[in-house]
Structure 1
Amino acid sequence: MTVDLDKYFTRIAWDGDRAPTLATLRSLHRAHVLGIPFENLDVVIGEVPSLDLRDLQAKLVESARGGYCFEHNSLFAAVLERLGFAVRRLTGRVRAGARPWEERPRTHMVLAVEIPGVPGRYLADVGYGNTGALLEPLPMVPGQEHETAGRRHRLVLEEADGPAPIWVVQVRGSGGWQDQTAFTMDRVPVADLVLGNWFTATYPRSPFHRLYVQRTLATGHHLLLDGTTFVRTAPDGTRSVREIENPGDLRDLLHTEFGLTPPAGFRPPTRRA
C-alpha cells in the first residue's frame, strides 16, 4: 500500500506544489506539525500503536486522531518518498530534561531527507510535539542557526572524528542553547523502528504511560498532561494553566482544543491526590 496523498493533504490543509523541492519540504513539514496533533491515547489504554502504513493512514489521516514520533515520522517519510524525496529513517535519544549523567534509549524517530538536485541533507521531525519542536526542517550543517516563527534551532556534532558522529538538535531557550535530541546517521530498518515503538509503548517506566497530548498552532501551543492539567502557551511564551476537574470536561477539551476523538476503551484518568 502507498499513502493516499490527496487524503493526507486534505488532512493537513495543504495545497502546495507537489514537486520535490526545498519549498515543498518546508511547507509540508510546517503543515503536518500544525495539522495533526501529538498524542499517546493508544499507549494509555494499553495498546501498541501500529506502524503499518494502512493503519497510520486510517488513524492519523482518516480519523480524528494523532500519534507520537514513530507514527508521525513514519507517515511523513512515506509521503515524502511518494513525492520523490530520498528519506533515511533514524532513531535518537531525547535529551531534553535528562540529567547530565543520564543516557536515554533510542526512543525517538527522525528523518534525514535528500532533495533531488540539492546537495546535503535536511533533518525533518514532525513528531516531537512540544513548544520547542521544529516547524521546518533543519539543514544538516553543523552550527548553522535556523529561526522559524521565533523558534531558533541548530545542529552540533559530537565525536565528529569517531566512527559514528553524534548529531545533536539544540533549541535556543531563555538559558541559552539546550540539547533536544541526539542521533547518528545509521540507517534504521523498519524492523528496528517496530522494536523501538514497542519498547516505548510497553516499558513499565516509559513516560508515555501518562496521558500526553499536544497541539502546535499558528497562534501558540496546547498541552494536556495526565488528563488533569491543560496549558496554553501564547506565541510570546505567556502560559495559562487550567486544572481539569471532571471526565466530561476532559473529553470536551480533547475535542474542542485538540480535535481528537478518544479510542474505544479510553477512560479519563483521575486527579492525583
Structure 2
Amino acid sequence: MADSARTTTPFDLGAYLDRIGWEGERRPDAATLRGVHLAHLRAIPFENLDALGGTAPSLDLADLMAKLVHGRRRGGYCYEHNTLFAAALEALGLRVTRLTARVVVGADRVEERPRTHMALLAEIPGDPRPYLADVGFGAIGSLLEPVPLTADTEFHDASRRHRLVHVPHRGPLEMWALEAHEARGGASEGGWVAQYAFTLEPFEQPDYEVINWHIATNPRSPFSRRPYVQRLTADGHLLLDGDRLTETRADGTVTERRPADETEARRMLAEDFGIDVPEGLTLLR
C-alpha cells in the first residue's frame, strides 16, 4: 500500500480482545501481558496464504484488523501478528520496541541467516525488566508467554521451556538467542535448541515493509513456495508444511498424515486450523 493511502484508523482494542477471547484485566502489568499473549496464540493461526498466492500481505493496521480480527477465518505470519500485537500492548499502556531476528534453527552460525523475523520487547511501567514477546514465530519452539530479558535462566511459559543466552558475534551490540527445550521421542529428556538470535536495536515500520515484501515475493523464500500453517491446540501443536500435517502433543509424541488431494487440504485448513482458503489459491503444488 502506498504511503499516501495508508490509514490512520485507531486500533480497536475492544474488538481485538474479543477476537482472542480475553476477558481478564486490561492493565499494563505482567499478568495481563502473559494472558493476552497466550490468548492471541490460541485464537489466531499462523499462515502464509497471501505470500503463497504471490502477494505481500499489508502491514497497515486497518488491514490487519480487517484480516486477523474482523475476518476471524484467517491468520497471518510474523510481521502481521507482531504488528497487531504491538498495537494491542501499546493500547494497554506498555512500551514496545520492535526488533528483528535471525532465525537460526538448523544453522551452524548466527551469521548464516538474514534478519527476517519480527519480535518485540515489551516494557511494563514500574517493572525494571523488559520482556521478550513474540506471537508470530511459526515454529513449535515459539514462546507461549513472554519471558524476562534475563540470560541463562530457564523459564516455563505455559507448557514449554525456554531460556535466553548471549551468543558471540561481530558487532557492537550484545546478541541474544532464544532457545527452546525440545523433548525427544516423547521422553522428558531432550536438549536446548536455538530458535532465533537478535540484538536490541529498534526497527521501524518501513524496515518491515521491505523485509515483508522480500519474504513474500522472493521465489526462493519458503513462504512463497508452499503452505506453512500452524495452530496452538489444547493438547499441543498442529503444523501443515507443504503436504504434511504434523501433530505434536504436549508429551512430545508426534503423528503425521497427508491430505489426499486439494479438496482434502482445503477441508483440513477449515476444520483443523479454522482458516478459509482464498478462492483460486492452489495449496498442493
Q: Flag whether TM exceeds 0.5 (same fold).
A: yes
Which of 239, 245, 248 pairs up with 2:263? Answer: 248
Match of 1:185 in 2: 200
CA distance in structure 1 between the aligned counterparts of 2:91 and 2:54, rounded to whole angstroms = 32
CA distance in structure 2 between the aligned counterparts of 1:161 and 1:51, rounded to whole angstroms = 31
CA distance in structure 2 between the aligned counterparts of 1:133 and 1:205, rounded to whole angstroms = 24
**Equivalent residues of 1:170, 1:178 under 8 A apart:** yes
Match of 1:21 in 2: 29
Secondary structure of the residue aligned to 2:196 is strand
Secondary structure of the residue aligned to 1:31 is helix
Match of 1:126 in 2: 135
Instruction: Give the deviation of 1:263 after TM superposition.
Output: 1.9
- The aligned runs of 1:120-269 (5 Å cut-off) are 120-159=129-168, 163-174=172-183, 175-209=190-224, 210-226=226-242, 228-269=243-284
Per the alignment, do residues 265 and 120 of structure 1 end up closer, same or farther by CA in structure 2, a change over 3 Å counting?
same
CA distance in structure 1 between the aligned counterparts of 2:52 and 2:202, rounded to whole angstroms = 30
CA distance in structure 1 between the aligned counterparts of 2:107 and 2:91, rounded to whole angstroms = 36
CA-based RMSD of the aligned residues comes to 1.6
Match of 1:42 in 2: 50
Match of 2:12 in 1: 4
Which of 56, 60, 65 pairs up with 1:52? Answer: 60
**Equivalent residues of 1:88, 1:113 under 8 A apart:** yes
Match of 2:126 in 1: 117
**Equivalent residues of 2:146, 2:157 under 8 A apart:** no
Secondary structure of the residue aligned to 1:260 is coil
Q: Which runs of 5+ in 1 are unaligned?
A: none
CA distance in structure 2 between the aligned counterparts of 1:15 and 1:160, rounded to whole angstroms = 43
Secondary structure of the residue aligned to 1:215 is strand
Instruction: Give the deviation of 1:160 after TM superposition.
Output: 8.8
Report % sequence identity: 50
**Equivalent residues of 1:130, 1:216 under 8 A apart:** no
CA distance in structure 2 between the aligned counterparts of 1:206 and 1:82, rounded to whole angstroms = 33
Of 104-113 and 209-218, the range deviating more from structure 2: 209-218
**Equivalent residues of 1:87, 1:112 under 8 A apart:** yes
